[in-house]
């Protein structure tokens, strides 16, 4: 058909519906991308930065290509758009398979976290975004051609795309992922893209013979989707926050030991028959150091993050009462109860963000434990000057704040910033770690004790799970680190801890 011959007008409502549906679906994929990548690289500022950049890059290339396709006759442009929707369906269904195939090699082979996350995101989600970006200009041009007041059609198409994007974002977070999970959600979106493809072929007047190839391609998308569904699940529970797994580490089935993995990181290990034994350095320090500071006196505590609830379980086994825990994800608590032998009747549990929980109550505690920090996945609103002032306001006069932190010994920029920020609030800030010289490039676990006075002891021996000595680093050494990095103060306005833990370990 010559493009100068006006074809029959396609109903505007139908084009608006297509535009909204495709836009909504593409935003669902963007949100699900974060959920699906988290089990491999965690959820951080890095992750969302990479996902948004990759998806927008895909949309941009798709829009450019769609603009070139839109220059064709309407029927021809719609047929080509149908093919791009088939491709979107195929690559959306294949995203799960691509992640499973390439996540290990990419993460292990690329040292820089941002580069690794961007590469993994591109492999799985660039092409789905590219093909999903093609229809917008094609459908918009089709809506404008041959109509009086085409400007109104243009506005309606832009509005439908924006409304679809809003709806897709809300549905992904509040409906699809919580109810269906990530893999099934992607397959639903693949099915929507398939329906959109068939509608484009229909509007493009594809003949019966010409429909054979699209149907074969759609069947391929369905086959890929079934393969994705047949894969073993990565998560035991996929909550609104995390992918949660329980790994059995037991050498003896009669003496079980379990590891909790949240997204891609270990969040606690517990033994059924040994609740007082910690299996990691950070848990051992968070268990032993506050008890060392409190001595034989009874004390109350507030715990930021539950995880496997190993420390609260240990303290409850020692008949320490007055334990309050802020764990944002109820599924994490349920997993700790079901698989980590945690008794919820021994503590008070708040399923809330820890900062909000502390702000909403004026109760004071003798010990506040910050255990929400793992590698580069750091809740940065819990390491700022404003938060530390809130912590100080909720501590008793002789109370202590204990928080864990991981940093590269070759840089220690993140440790320096947190120490400098804590010193703005607390007279005494100690840095504890395992005794012994670290290896070059080591990612070291530290626990910081902040309070009104120094500890009476400078070393503590405790099981982690073997008997291990932990010691406070020399104050002069800590002063030199803070001076070297410029005493950066972390605030709610600017707390680049992920940057300090990630980029600095590469370029410092």
User: Would the CA dihedral through 491, 429, 352, 464 be positive or negative?
Assistant: positive
Q: What percent of the chain has pLDDT over 70?
A: 94
Q: Are 146 and 8 in contact (CB under 8 A)?
A: no
CA–CA dist 57, 177 (Å, integer)? 24
Pair (319, 191) in one structural domain: no
**In terms of DSSP bridges, do strands 257-262 and 265-271 run parallel, antiparallel, or are they unpaired?**
antiparallel
Q: Are 468 and 461 in contact (CB under 8 A)?
A: yes
Q: Give the CATH number, domain containing residue 492.
A: 3.40.50.150
Supply the pLDDT for residue 337. 95
Look over the chain and give the mean of its residue pLDDT values, rounded to a whole number.
88
- The residue that leads in pLDDT, 442 or 508, is 442
Instruction: Confirm whether 19 is domain-assigned.
Output: yes
Supply the pLDDT for residue 102. 87
pTM score: 0.81
Instruction: Confirm whether 248 is domain-assigned.
Output: no
Asked which of 161-165, 277-281, 432-436, 492-496 is least confident by mean pLDDT, the reply is 492-496
Query: pLDDT for 139-173, tens place per residue?
Result: 999 999 878 778 898 999 999 999 999 999 999 98
Pair (40, 93) in one structural domain: yes
Using the predicted structure, report yes or no on whether residue 362 has a pLDDT greater than 50.
yes
Return the top range by mean pLDDT from 34-38, 49-53, 386-390. 386-390
Supply the pLDDT for residue 235. 82
Q: Are 417 and 429 in contact (CB under 8 A)?
A: no
Query: pLDDT for 262-275, tens place per residue?
Result: 887 778 899 999 99
Pair (283, 218) in one structural domain: no
Q: Tokens for 399?
A: 């109370």
Q: Are 342 and 309 in contact (CB under 8 A)?
A: yes
Q: Are 83 and 193 in contact (CB under 8 A)?
A: no
Give alpha helix (H) positions in 262-309.
281-294
Instruction: Confirm whether 286 is domain-assigned.
Output: yes
Pair (361, 436) in one structural domain: yes
* 285-288, Cβ contacts within 8 angstroms, sequence gap of 24 or more: 285/402, 285/404, 285/432, 285/433, 285/445, 285/447, 285/460, 285/462, 285/470, 286/311, 286/369, 286/371, 286/402, 286/404, 286/447, 287/311, 287/314, 287/315, 287/462, 288/460, 288/462, 288/470
Using the predicted structure, report yes or no on whether residue 7 has a pLDDT greater than 60.
no
> Which among 216, 234, 252 is the end of a domain?
234
Pair (193, 332) in one structural domain: no
How many domains is the chain built from? Answer: 2
Pair (28, 170) in one structural domain: yes
Instruction: Confirm whether 468 is domain-assigned.
Output: yes
CA distances to 9, 180, 245 from 137, rounded to whole Å, are: 17, 31, 43
Pair (223, 308) in one structural domain: no
Q: Give the CATH number, domain containing residue 102.
A: 1.20.1250
Pair (430, 319) in one structural domain: yes
Pair (45, 192) in one structural domain: yes
Using the predicted structure, report yes or no on whether residue 210 has a pLDDT greater than 70.
no
Supply the pLDDT for residue 356. 92
Helix (H) or strand (E) holding 139: helix 135-144
Pair (362, 483) in one structural domain: yes
Supply the pLDDT for residue 207. 67
Confidence band for 323, pLDDT divided at 50, 70 and 90: very high
Instruction: Confirm whether 241 is domain-assigned.
Output: no
Pair (411, 309) in one structural domain: yes
Domain hosting residue 298, numbered range: 276-507
Confidence band for 438, pLDDT divided at 50, 70 and 90: confident
Phi, psi of 304 (to 5 degrees): -90, 100
Pair (134, 282) in one structural domain: no
Instruction: Confirm whether 3 is domain-assigned.
Output: no
Using the predicted structure, report yes or no on whether residue 444 has a pLDDT greater than 80.
yes
CA–CA dist 56, 488 (Å, integer)? 33
């Amino acid at each position: 058909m010559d493009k100068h011959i006006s074809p029959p007008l396609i109903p505007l409502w139908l084009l608006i519906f297509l535009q909204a549906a495709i836009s909504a679906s593409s935003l669902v994929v963007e949100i699900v991308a974060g959920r699906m990548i988290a089990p491999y690289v965690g959820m951080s500022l890095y992750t969302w930065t990479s996902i948004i950049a990759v998806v927008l890059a895909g949309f941009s290339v798709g829009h450019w290509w769609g603009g070139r396709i839109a220059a064709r006759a309407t029927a021809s442009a719609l047929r080509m758009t149908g093919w791009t929707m088939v491709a979107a369906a195929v690559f959306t269904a294949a995203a799960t398979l691509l992640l499973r195939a390439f996540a290990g090699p990419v993460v292990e082979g690329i040292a820089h976290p941002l580069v690794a996350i961007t590469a993994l995101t591109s492999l799985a989600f660039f092409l789905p975004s590219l093909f999903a970006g093609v229809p917008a200009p094609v459908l918009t041009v089709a809506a404008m051609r041959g109509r009086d007041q085409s400007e109104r059609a243009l506005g309606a198409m832009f509005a439908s795309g924006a409304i679809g994007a809003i709806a897709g974002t809300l549905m992904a977070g509040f409906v699809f992922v919580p109810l269906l999970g990530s893999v099934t959600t992607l397959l639903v979106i693949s099915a929507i893209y398939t329906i959109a493809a068939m509608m484009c072929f229909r509007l493009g007047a594809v003949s019966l013979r010409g429909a054979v190839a699209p149907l074969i391609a759609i069947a391929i998308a369905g086959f890929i989707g079934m393969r994705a569904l047949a894969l073993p699940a990565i998560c035991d529970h996929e909550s609104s926050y995390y992918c949660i797994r329980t790994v059995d580490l037991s050498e003896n089935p009669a003496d079980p030991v379990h590891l909790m993995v949240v997204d891609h990181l270990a969040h606690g290990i517990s033994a059924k028959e040994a609740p007082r034994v910690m299996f990691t350095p950070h848990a051992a320090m968070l268990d032993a150091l506050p008890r060392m500071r409190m001595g034989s006196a009874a004390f109350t505590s507030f715990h930021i993050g539950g995880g496997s609830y190993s420390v609260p379980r240990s303290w409850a086994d020692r008949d320490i009462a007055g334990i309050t825990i802020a764990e944002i994800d109820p599924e994490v608590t349920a997993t700790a109860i079901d698989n980590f032998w945690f008794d919820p009747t021994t503590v008070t549990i708040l399923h809330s963000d820890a900062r909000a929980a502390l702000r909403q109550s004026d109760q004071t505690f003798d010990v506040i434990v910050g255990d929400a920090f793992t590698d580069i996945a750091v809740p940065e609103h819990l390491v700022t000057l404003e938060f530390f002032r809130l912590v100080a306001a909720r501590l008793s006069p002789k109370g202590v704040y204990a928080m864990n932190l991981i940093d590269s010994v070759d840089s220690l920029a993140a440790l320096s910033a947190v120490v400098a920020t804590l010193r703005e609030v607390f007279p005494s800030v100690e840095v504890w770690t395992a005794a012994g010289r670290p290896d070059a490039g080591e990612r070291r676990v530290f626990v910081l004790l902040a309070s009104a006075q120094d500890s009476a002891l400078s070393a503590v021996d405790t099981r982690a799970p073997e008997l291990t000595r932990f010691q406070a680093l020399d104050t002069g050494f800590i002063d030199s680190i803070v001076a070297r990095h410029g005493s950066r103060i972390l605030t709610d306005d600017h707390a680049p801890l992920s940057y300090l833990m990630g980029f600095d370990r590469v370029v410092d």
